[in-house]
Amino acid sequence: MKMSTIRDLLGAEVLCCEENLDHDVFSACGSDMMSDVLMYVKDQAVLLTGLTNPQVIRTAEMMDMRCIVFVRSKRPNEMMISMAEDDGIVMMATTMRMYDACGTLYTNGLIGTAAHV
């Protein structure tokens, strides 16, 4: 799914790296616990989160994620936006709750990542 499609489906505002919206992503993960993201996410996933601290960016970098969507009207600070810009990570913000945002993406064809425990 194109990141521009994610923007449209979620009614999201693009906060940085708008030039990368034509890139594809193949799976999504919704979590406010970065330890879960580190454990379960595969390459090229979209991260949906309400957590707004630098650890979100560091986690996305480590997992080669190309897009972060902040849910529940959460907004990253300027330092986080700068970190994402340096790495070319698209950041978006939506007013949707995480459950609704994940459900919208799933019903439109973006799969989740399988949990392996």
Query: Which residues constitute the domain of residue 49?
Result: 3-112
pTM: 0.92
What's the pLDDT score for residue 74? 96
Contact 91, 15 (CB under 8 A): yes
Q: Is residue 53, in this structure, part of any structural domain at all? A: yes
What's the pLDDT score for residue 114? 58
Q: Is residue 57, in this structure, part of any structural domain at all? A: yes
CA angle 98, 103, 106 (to 5 degrees): 125
What's the number of domains the chain is made of?
1
Report DSSP letters for 4-28, one per residue: HHHHHHHTPEEEE-GGGTTSB--EE
What's the pLDDT score for residue 113? 64
Q: Is residue 49, in this structure, part of any structural domain at all? A: yes
Mean pLDDT by 10 residues, the chain (117 residues): 97 97 92 86 83 95 94 97 96 98 95 60
CATH code for the domain in which residue 94 is found: 3.40.1390.20
Q: Is residue 117, in this structure, part of any structural domain at all? A: no
